[in-house]
């Protein structure tokens, strides 16, 4: 029974019963391209920032609050993943996956803010 529920949940996560977000843009190439390029650059930037930040922290051993810096890096990566999913959902209506990533981002960002 548990395997059936897991299969059902997996199928629901990947279900294409919704329309892709690009349909909202009427598949206008300029508008779709604007979102793809913008979200792609934002995601690249979000993924680059923690790499640089962690390299600097690794070189300096005297930085206080390393755990907060790691939480902040995780938060930034979660935000970048959200923007990548915004590009993905233009063509693939996997909104459940997008929603779960946003929920993880919310938890990580709240944890970072509280820490």
DSSP 66-108: HHHHHHHHHHHHHHHHHHHHHHHHHHS--HHHHHHHHHHHHHH
Q: In the prediction, which pLDDT does 56 show?
A: 87
Is residue 68 one of the residues assigned to a domain? yes
Tens of each residue's pLDDT in the chain, 115 residues: 555 555 566 666 666 689 999 999 999 999 999 999 999 999 999 999 999 998 988 888 787 778 888 999 999 999 999 999 999 999 999 999 999 999 999 999 999 999 8
| Count of structural domains, the chain | 1
Is residue 98 one of the residues assigned to a domain? yes
Is residue 10 one of the residues assigned to a domain? no
What is the extent of the structural domain holding 28?
20-114
């Amino acid at each position: 029974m548990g395997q059936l529920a897991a299969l059902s949940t997996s199928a629901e996560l990947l279900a294409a019963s919704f329309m892709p977000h690009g349909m909202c843009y009427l598949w206008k190439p300029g508008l779709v391209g604007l979102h793809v390029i913008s979200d792609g650059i934002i995601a690249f930037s979000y993924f680059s920032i923690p790499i640089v930040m962690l390299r600097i922290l690794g070189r300096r051993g005297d930085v206080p609050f390393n755990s907060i810096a790691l939480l902040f890096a995780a938060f930034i990566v979660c935000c970048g993943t959200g923007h990548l999913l915004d590009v993905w959902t233009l063509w693939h209506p996997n909104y459940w996956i997008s929603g779960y990533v946003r929920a993880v981002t919310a938890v990580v960002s709240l944890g970072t803010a509280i820490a």
